[in-house]
Amino acid sequence: MENQQRSFGEVIKNIRKQRKMTQKMLSQNICSQSVLSRIENDGELPNVLVMAQLCQRLGVTIDQVMQMHSTEIQQVHALIEQMTFFFFHKNYQLLDELLHRPNLLNHLYLDTDLQLYHYYLGSCYFFLHHDSESALKELKRGLSYTFQLDKSNVSATEIQLISCIGSVYEDLRRMDLARQQLKYSLQLFQKMPPERMSNMAAKIFYNYAHFLYSQKEAEEALAIAKQGIMVARKQKSYYYLDDLFLLTGRIYEYLGESSVAKQYFKASADVQYIRTI
């Protein structure tokens, strides 16, 4: 296996692509896009300040970058992609098996990769094992790797973690904390630039709308659910779209509008069918 030390620029480029960030997204307010391009192609060596800012935005330290190898990055990238595939398709059984592979954590040493590991593990505890206390512990641990209250560039994963923590609080009947976290996650999402949004953002809206519906705040729940449907359609993503249609149907049914509810129930069934093709 190749074990040659790679340049700072080459490793930065690989991590940027792994994070699905463009050069424009990474360089914004740090350096020009052309300067980043030269750095990534070894045409320019960045000063320490620029180097530190680029690493911070990518969720790594300078020491981690200097120790990384191209082959290792590719292997970890493939592993994270497999996890994310199972997570996206809600195949928590296969995801749980992957997360419990021997020595898996030995291959995850970036904060953002460890964050995903605990996010996915917490989700398995919640949806597969129905263990809300363990789920809450793992989700909080995942968030702690990168999140700070005064952080200016909150990631899509951090927002999802905050939302999921709110949902677990709801399951634990800690409603004040649930409302606080769910509302906060939506506020953070609304401040996020469109190019940094995840194709799994609809879950944030579902979680909050589900909470509001459980509190019999039907009108507000309906508005949030419909926003989530719009976000999913705009992103051309099926993630949680069937759940949002189903929830919207239930809200309309609760409001006594059965004919409208049936349309959303049908839409939910249609999306579920499409997801299985």
Q: What is the DSSP string of 8-21?
A: HHHHHHHHHHHTT-
* Residue ranges with strand state E in 36-139: none
Average pLDDT of span 141-148: 90
Per residue in 79-93, pLDDT (tens digit) is 889 999 999 999 999
**130 residue type, one letter:** H
- Evaluate whether 61 touches 109 at the Cβ level (below 8 Å): no
Q: Which residue from 63, 55, 48, 67 is spatially nearest to 15, judged by alpha carbons?
A: 55
Close Cβ partners of 58 (under 8 Å, ≥ 6 residues apart): 12, 15, 16, 19, 21, 26, 112
| DSSP letter (8 states) at residue 4 | P
Residue 231 contacts residue 261 (beta carbons within 8 Å): no
User: Using one digit for the tens of pLDDT, what is the confidence trace for 31-51?
Assistant: 999 999 999 988 888 888 898
Identify the CATH assignment for 74-220 out of 2.130.10.10, 3.40.50.2000, 1.25.40.10, 3.40.50.720. Answer: 1.25.40.10
How far, in Å, CA of 182 to CA of 164, rounded? 8
Q: For 2, phi and psi rounded to 5 degrees?
A: -65, 135
pLDDT of the residue at 1: 34
Q: What mean pLDDT do residues 161-174 have?
A: 98
CA-CA-CA-CA torsion for 59, 136, 98, 68, nearest 10 degrees?
A: 20
Q: Residue 151's pLDDT is what?
A: 65
Q: Of residues 17 and 228, which shows the higher confidence score? A: 228
Mean pLDDT of the chain: 90
Does domain 8-67 fall under CATH 1.10.260.40? My reply is yes
The model's confidence at residue 3, banded by pLDDT at 50, 70 and 90, is very low
Q: What are 207-240's pLDDT values in tens digits?
A: 999 999 999 999 999 999 999 999 999 999 999 9
Query: Is 164's pLDDT higher than 90?
Result: yes
In the Cβ-directed half-sphere of 244, how many Cα atoms lie within 13 Å? Answer: 27
Amino acid 100 reads H
Distance CA 118, CA 115 (A): 5
DSSP 213: H
**How far is the C-alpha of 233 from the C-alpha of 226, rounded, in Å?**
11
CB 78 within 8 Å of CB 111:
no
Which comes out higher in pLDDT, residue 8 or 155? 155
pLDDT at 153: 77
Angle at 157 between CA 152 and CA 161, to 5 degrees: 100
Instruction: Decide if pLDDT at 272 tops 70.
Output: yes
8-67 and 74-220, same CATH topology: no
Distance CA 243, CA 272 (A): 9
Q: Encoding tokens for residue 106?
A: 């030995």
Selected residue with higher pLDDT from 277 and 57: 57
Query: What is the reported pLDDT for 211?
Result: 98
pLDDT above 50 for 4? no
Q: d(Cα 83, Cα 88) in Å, to the nearest integer?
A: 9
Q: How confident is the model at residue 98 (pLDDT cuts 50, 70, 90)?
A: very high
Domain spans of the chain, in order of start = 8-67, 74-220
The model's pLDDT over 100-141, given as tens digits with 9 standing for 90+, comes to 988 888 778 778 889 999 999 999 999 999 999 999 999 999
